[in-house]
Amino acid sequence: MLKIGLTGSIGSGKTTVCKVFEVLGVPVFYADDAAKIAMVTDPVLIDGIKTAFGDTAYFNDGTLNRKYIASIVFNDSQQLAKLNALVHPATFRAFDEWVKTNGNAPYVLKEAALLFESDSYKMCDYSITVTAPAETRIKRVMQRDNLTRAEIESRENKQFTEAKKAALADYIIVNDDVQLVIPQVLSLHNKILSLAGIH
């Protein structure tokens, strides 16, 4: 089974592209969702977060105090790096377990915003970057999340540039509202199937 990483800058349409792959029967692991689950279920991670940020990081019922964590890491790159250093390994563990449950698939996708930043692309056989022009991406996110341009740019600045992601990726899907996404996904799907030895 091949493991394919998929990423893209904020507003590039990663999730949309993943949904097309899912329609084709490809299992997709959403790293950000898995990280949120791990933060309340993985005992190693929970202990690590409490040690790093104090018991206030969790409410008495075991749920994560998101506002408290966000207030610490949002404007402090060192604290954010500390949190990521705890969360990424837990997400890797979750991915390894998930892969075992999808062992019959010719390939699986791992969708991760920080695929390259977290080095998790090294655990994948190939990687895909979804790209779109900056203006298009910003407009999408402003409409979707009710964020200001400044807020979006601040988030973007915490990630690799789109050019850097594209340079690191094996394949690129362009989601610019001009080129059709589905034919690009179908073409790539067939290519990956042949790489997986399925003709």
d(CA 117, CA 165): 9
Q: With 0-12 CB in 10 A as exposed, 13-18 as middle and 19+ as buried, what is 90?
A: buried
Q: For position 156, what pLDDT does the model report?
A: 87
- Judged against a pLDDT cut of 80, whether residue 96 lies above it is answered with yes
The label of the residue with tokens 């990424």 reads 88
Residue 166 near residue 172, CB atoms below 8 Å: yes
Q: Which helix (H) or strand (E) holds 105?
A: none
Residue 38 near residue 87, CB atoms below 8 Å: yes
d(CA 134, CA 147): 15
- pLDDT tens by residue, 50-95: 999 999 999 999 999 999 999 999 878 899 999 999 999 999 999 9
- Judged against a pLDDT cut of 90, whether residue 121 lies above it is answered with yes
User: Which residues neighbour 33 within 8 Å (Cβ) at sequence distance 6 or greater?
Assistant: none
- pLDDT tens by residue, 23-44: 999 999 999 999 999 999 999 9
- pLDDT tens by residue, 145-197: 888 999 888 888 888 999 999 999 999 999 999 999 999 999 999 999 999 99
Sheet with 107-111: strands ordered across: 28-30, 107-111, 2-8, 126-131, 171-174
Quote the pTM value. Answer: 0.90
Which of the pair, 155 or 21, is modelled with greater confidence? Answer: 21
Which of the pair, 5 or 117, is modelled with greater confidence? Answer: 5
CA dihedral 21, 22, 27, 28 (to 10 degrees): 80
Q: For position 75, what pLDDT does the model report?
A: 79
Positive or negative torsion for Cα 112, 116, 121, 122: negative
- Judged against a pLDDT cut of 90, whether residue 99 lies above it is answered with yes
Domains of the chain and CATH, by start:
1-27+107-199 (3.40.50.300), 32-101 (3.40.50.300)
- Judged against a pLDDT cut of 90, whether residue 199 lies above it is answered with no
Report the DSSP pairing between strands 28-30 and 107-111: parallel
- Judged against a pLDDT cut of 80, whether residue 15 lies above it is answered with yes
Count the neighbouring beta carbons within 10 Å of the beta carbon of residue 42: 21
